[in-house]
Amino acid sequence: MKAIIKNKIILNEIYSASAIELIDNELFIIGDNSPFLFVLDLEGNIKNKVQIFDIKDTNVTTNENIIIIPKKEKPDFEASCVLNINQKKHLFVVGSGSSDKRDIAVLIDLGTFEVQKISIKNLYKKITKLISLSENAQNDELNIEGLCANETTVYFFQRGNINGNNFIFSISIDDMVSYLFSKKETIKIKKIDKQKVDLPSIENIFSGFSDACFTDNQNDNQQILWTSSVENTTNTIDDGKVLGSFVGTYNIHNQQVENSIITEMINQKETVFIGKVEGICVTNWSDDLKRAIAVTDADGGCSEMLFIEIS
């Protein structure tokens, strides 16, 4: 399999893009240090932006009129997915959980753009405990970087780029929605399934999950398209040298990464793309044509939108 970047667009108003969703021919992008949800057309033009995080008590900085939340104060929104609640589409956005300020979520009604802030502290405590009980993962820190959902299940992707301990946690939609709408997290998640996943490495440095999406919500043989990136860092907070990114598929029925469908992202001249892919969404997935749009996190610079063909 090859994942070739056919085109790139610089997103001048978006720093540190961390997730992307395709909804009704519009792209919804969040950034891990931005208080906004950005709505773009398929050519990368910003049509709207919605404030999803209150910055009145935050020491924000600006760079060319772009508001940036400092690392110590940011909610670190790293992942998103669409949830259908009461026949309305909502964008579910979560923090990474890698510090106390990062265990929050927002639920955005995509009809009205009403934003609801929700604590997911108890959920993240439960996931952290599941990580700690795993073999060789006792000192691993929580770092949720991917999120996707189908009609029955929400999947959380734990980035294990430090020790190679990448996990997928799955929760039923019913449990998830009940938890999100409970007061002060009084309704508990009944069951969380856990699956450890082995991902490729570069120069003996582990890659870690960076996002995920479903390839086809109408197909019974559902696959998840995931991305992972390789970053030379010793913790979940600090950035490091980026060595590259991978894309691959995960079969939710047999709970396996399909080793024949893992590839390092390359440019059109077939040179390795040295960048940190943080979000991905599928625009076409058939036997004849597989296309996706991804976004990168430049750790302080403008993000890029990548148009990818997978063959």
Query: Which one is the CATH code of 3-310: 2.20.25, 3.30.70, 1.20.1630, 2.120.10?
Result: 2.120.10
Measured CA angle at 218 (ends 207, 143), to 5 deg:
25
210: CB partners within 8 A, 6+ apart? 145, 146, 159, 227, 228, 229, 245, 276, 277, 278, 279
- Alpha-carbon dihedral angle through residues 172, 175, 179, 185, given to the nearest 10 degrees: -110
Q: What is the pLDDT of residue 233?
A: 83
Q: What is the pLDDT of residue 285?
A: 92
Q: What is the pLDDT of residue 162?
A: 83
Two tokens, residue 21: 């969703």
User: pLDDT digits over 133-164, tens only?
Assistant: 777 666 688 999 999 999 999 999 999 988 88
Domain boundaries, the chain: 3-310
Distance CA 21, CA 171 (A): 20
Q: What is the pLDDT of residue 167?
A: 96
What residues in the chain have per-residue pLDDT under 70? 136-139, 217-221, 259-261, 299-300
Task: Quote the pTM value.
Answer: 0.94
